[in-house]
Amino acid sequence: MSLQQSVFRGFANPVDPAPDELRAWAFQPGSVPLESMPKDWDLLVSGDRLIGTLFDLAMDRSCPARRFALHCLYIYAADGIRTNFKAHPRRRLRKLVEQAQELGDEMMLTWAHNTLVLMAKPQLFDYHNWCEGGLVRSGQRLS
């Protein structure tokens, strides 16, 4: 059964969804609209436990919730960098950036580029861009 054919049956715990639940939802996001999720759900799911799943979804051009997953990658990157990698391991973020550079399309290459720019210049952090979806919507490449 492919990911797209998985039937989303809801989250056992929306505040802490399982990777398979998040994956099933991502291919049927209209079944539980983001507006009905807990406040700041994007911030809640953008942690180490789900980052691999979110990365896979952001890399999948056929995923209806791809932009949401990309938004979560921006949150994850910013959170790691802003906390000097106390929130998330530097090595994990670097591995994701390398994978995006090797296999990603333009959206993922832009995320990887912006993440490396923020690593080099943390003062460029802007909450709206990194945590409220500004860079996802604009597609802007930082310099």
pLDDT tens-place string over residues 93-141: 999 999 999 999 999 999 999 999 999 999 999 999 999 999 999 999 9
Q: Where are the alpha helices (DSSP H) in 6-65?
A: 19-26, 41-45, 48-59
Total domains in the chain come to: 1
Asked if residue 96 belongs to a domain, the reply is yes
Is position 107 within any domain?
yes
The pLDDT value given to residue 51? 98
- Within a domain: 85: yes
pLDDT for 15 = 86
Q: What is the pTM of this model?
A: 0.92
Position 6 scores a pLDDT of: 64
pLDDT above 90 for 38: no
Residue 2: pLDDT over 50: no
How many angstroms separate the CA atoms of 78 and 85, rounded?
Answer: 10
Mean pLDDT, the chain, integer: 92
Report yes or no: 127 and 74 within 8 Å, Cβ to Cβ.
no
* Domain membership of residue 9 as a residue range: 3-138
Residue 132 lies in a domain: yes
